[in-house]
Amino acid sequence: MRLAGKCGIFIIRLFSGENTIFFRCLMQNLTRWGGALLELSQFQNVPDSKKMILDAISKLEEALEASPSKHDTLWCLGNAHTSHAFLTPDQDEAKVYFEKAAQYFEQAVEADPQNELYKKSLEVAAKAPELHMEIHKHGFAQQAMGAGPSASTTTKQQGTKKKKSSDLKYDIFGWIILAVGIVAWVGFAKSHLPPPPPR
C-alpha cells in the first residue's frame, strides 16, 4: 500500500474518529470504488482486467485498514481474489489467491454470521480451485487469454481468431457471473422463507 494512503487513514482517524459521518462515508466510498472496479474488470481484456482487479484490491484493503471488521469489504475482497485467481493460468499462483479469498469470506461470515450470501460464497470458494483446474485443463482459459497457438498470418484470420477468443472469454465470464448470481439468489431465497403454517 502506498505511504500516502496509510498517512491519509491515520490523519482521518486522528481528526475524525471512527464514529463520525465523514469517516463512515469515506470507508463506504472506498468499498464501493473497489467493488465498481471489480465489476468493470469483467469487461476488459485479461491484462487490463488483472490491473483493475489489483486496483480494486488496493482500494478495498485501504478501506479494511481503517475498519477491519467491515463485512461487506471483506466479502468484496474475497470476490476480488477469486476473480484474480481465475485469470491466473498457473495453478500454484491461483491457489494462493483462492486461499486469500477463502480467508476473507470466512472473516465476512464471522463478522455477519446471519448473512447467507457470505456463507454460500465461502462454500463456493472451497470448490473454486477444482473449477479453475478444469477450465485450464480444457484450454478454455488459454483461448480466452489469447495465449493459444497462433498459426495464421493474414489479418482476416487474425481478426477472426481475436473475435472467437473474445467471444469465448465473454462466454466463460458470463457462466461464472450466472453461477454467482444463482448462488446469491438461492442464498437470498433461503434466507427469506415464509414462516411455517401454524398447526
CATH label of the domain that carries residue 170: 1.25.40.10
In-domain check, residue 23: yes
Q: How far is CA 98 from CA 14, 73, 86, 129, 189, in A?
A: 35, 17, 9, 7, 26
Range of the domain at 33: 3-148+155-191
In-domain check, residue 83: yes
Count of structural domains within the chain? 1
In-domain check, residue 22: yes
What's the pTM? 0.60
For 54-89, the pLDDT digits (tens) are: 999 998 888 888 777 788 889 989 999 998 888 888
Give yes or no for a contact between 87 and 73, defined as CB atoms under 8 angstroms apart: no
In-domain check, residue 69: yes
In-domain check, residue 196: no
| pLDDT, position 106 | 92
In-domain check, residue 197: no
